[in-house]
Every structure is written in structure tokens, then in C-alpha cells.
């Protein structure tokens, strides 16, 4: 897919260059708009890796929930190409990208346990298809992630390498108790060496729902640009029973 984008840019430049002199936008507005769109979608320099706590996700919604096999697991929400200037995106880089369920067969068991769609109204493939279409097709500009299988394998790898259940347990942070924002961030930073982002549930009492760890394109951990939305001194780590 990375080759495909590069080829598209080269072809568009060739077309534009073959047309008579004058401002590029005046020569061929449609081609210029397409080129600008491709260039915009290639301008990202980092990843946000988001893990969520199913207990809080579920208690924040009236929808029926399905917990992963191990209820103590922080599951993957997504792996999102982003910009270190503080903006998310790009997204939906290949609107016609195919998504085959068979492609994920080798890692299906792990996906069901670690990249769980906790809401049961739709099958899990629809959640994974959404993440691939919106974020994976942009991540696929990198050779290391240029297929759905590679993309989801990387998310599973990061979920294993940065196991938040273990990270918090090592810092004596356990479900059913409340902690300060600093305690959560310090626990994660003790492993990553960089600033993470703690996200709380948007409704109800202050409960930790999501942890975001950021990486450059080579998957070196970097500081996350986003501040926490948790604004209370005490943040509950919701019991998962």
C-alpha cells in the first residue's frame, strides 16, 4: 500500500508536469486536489496506542457488554496514526481497501481475547473492520504494517509488551480502589520512560477508562501530546467483577 501511494503521487506529478505552464491548481484542479489529499494523508509522524478497561467502558454505557475471557485484561481500542503537533489523523486513507475476515484467521483467538469488542450488538469483525478502514489503511503506508494482518499483529504485540494490568499491579494499583492521576501516569512511565495520557469516563464519577501510549514510526516510545481529561484528585480503578 505504501508503494501504491508513492506510485499515485508520481503519476499525478507526471500528469501535472505534462500540462502547459501556469499555476498547478489552474492546470488540472481535480488532479491537484487529489495530490493534495494524498500528501495530507501521508503527513503523520507518530502513533497513539490506546488500551481500555472493559469494566469502565461497559458501566459508562447502557448497551449490553461482553467481557474478554480474562476480565483482568486491558484490551486494545486502537493503533492510530497521528501527528506530534497535537492532532489525530489522518484517517480513511484507502476508502476502497478490502478487509477479509480470513486474513485474521491466524490471530483470531488472540484478537478475541485482547482486541475485544465489548458491545454485543454487532460481531467483532465489524469493530476490527472499522479500525482497519479508519486507522489501519493509513498505518499501512509503512511497510511493517502494510496489511491487515501486520497491523493487528502489531496491536497485539504492543498490548502484550505494555501489559497495563501487570504495570499497575507492580505499582500496587488494583481494581476496586481509587488513585491519583499522578499514580497512574507514574506507573506507566516507570515502564515506558515517557508521558502517557490517562482518559477518564466521560459520564458519571471519575473512573479510569483508557490509557494511551505514544510511539514514533519506528515504535520507539515518545511523549504523548494530549493532556488527561481527568480533573479530580481521586480516580477510581473500577472493579471488574
Give the cell for residue 48: 497513539
Same domain, 37 and 47: no
* 17, pLDDT greater than 80: no
Determine what percent of the chain is predicted with pLDDT higher than 70.
Answer: 81
Same domain, 47 and 37: no
Residues spanned by the domain of 88: 43-237
pTM comes to 0.83
Q: Is 137 exposed, middle or buried (0-12, 13-18, 19+ CB in 10 A)?
A: buried
Same domain, 199 and 220: yes
* 157, pLDDT greater than 50: yes
Residue 165 CB contacts under 8 Å (≥ 6 apart), including other chains? 72, 73, 74
Same domain, 126 and 7: no
Same domain, 167 and 212: yes
**Calpha distance 79→127 (Å, rounded):** 13
**Calpha distance 207→201 (Å, rounded):** 6
Dihedral angle sign, alpha carbons of residues 206, 208, 210, 214: positive
The number of folded domains in the chain is 2
Across the chain, mean pLDDT equals 85
Catalytic residue list contains 130: no
pLDDT at 122: 62
* 22, pLDDT greater than 70: no
Mean pLDDT is lowest, of 12-26, 113-127, 218-232, for 12-26
Cis before 90 (ω within 30): yes
Active-site residue among 98, 112, 130, 131?
Answer: 131
Dihedral angle sign, alpha carbons of residues 197, 66, 120, 78: positive
Catalytic residue list contains 231: no
Average pLDDT on 83-87 reads 83
Active-site residue among 52, 77, 124, 210?
Answer: 77
Say which CATH number the domain at 136 has: 3.90.730.10
Active-site residue among 135, 153, 210, 238?
Answer: 135
Amino acid at each position: 500500500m505504501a508503494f501504491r501511494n508513492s506510485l499515485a503521487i508520481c503519476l499525478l506529478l507526471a500528469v501535472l508536469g505534462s500540462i502547459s505552464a501556469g499555476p498547478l491548481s489552474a492546470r488540472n484542479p481535480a488532479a491537484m486536489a487529489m495530490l493534495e489529499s494524498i500528501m495530507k494523508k501521508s503527513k503523520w509522524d507518530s502513533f497513539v496506542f490506546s488500551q481500555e478497561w472493559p469494566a469502565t467502558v461497559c458501566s459508562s454505557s447502557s448497551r449490553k457488554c461482553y467481557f474478554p475471557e480474562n476480565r483482568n485484561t486491558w484490551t486494545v481500542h486502537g493503533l492510530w496514526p497521528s501527528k506530534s503537533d497535537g492532532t489525530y489523523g489522518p484517517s480513511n486513507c484507502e476508502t476502497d481497501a478490502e478487509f477479509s475476515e480470513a486474513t485474521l484467521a491466524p490471530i483470531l483467538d488472540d484478537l478475541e481475547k485482547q482486541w475485544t469488542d465489548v458491545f454485543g450488538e454487532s460481531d467483532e469483525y465489524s469493530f476490527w473492520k472499522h479500525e482497519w478502514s479508519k486507522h489501519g489503511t493509513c498505518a499501512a503506508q509503512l511497510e511493517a504494517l502494510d496489511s491487515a494482518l501486520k497491523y493487528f499483529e502489531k496491536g497485539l504485540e504492543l498490548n502484550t509488551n505494555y501489559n497495563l494490568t501487570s504495570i499497575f499491579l507492580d505499582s500496587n494499583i488494583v481494581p476496586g480502589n481509587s488513585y491519583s492521576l499522578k499514580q497512574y501516569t507514574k506507573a506507566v512511565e516507570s515502564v515506558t520512560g515517557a508521558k502517557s495520557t490517562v482518559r477518564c469516563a466521560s459520564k458519571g464519577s471519575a473512573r479510569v477508562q483508557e490509557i494511551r501510549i505514544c510511539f514514533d514510526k519506528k515504535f520507539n516510545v515518545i511523549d504523548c501530546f494530549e493532556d488527561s481529561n481527568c480533573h479530580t484528585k481521586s480516580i477510581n480503578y473500577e472493579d471488574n467483577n
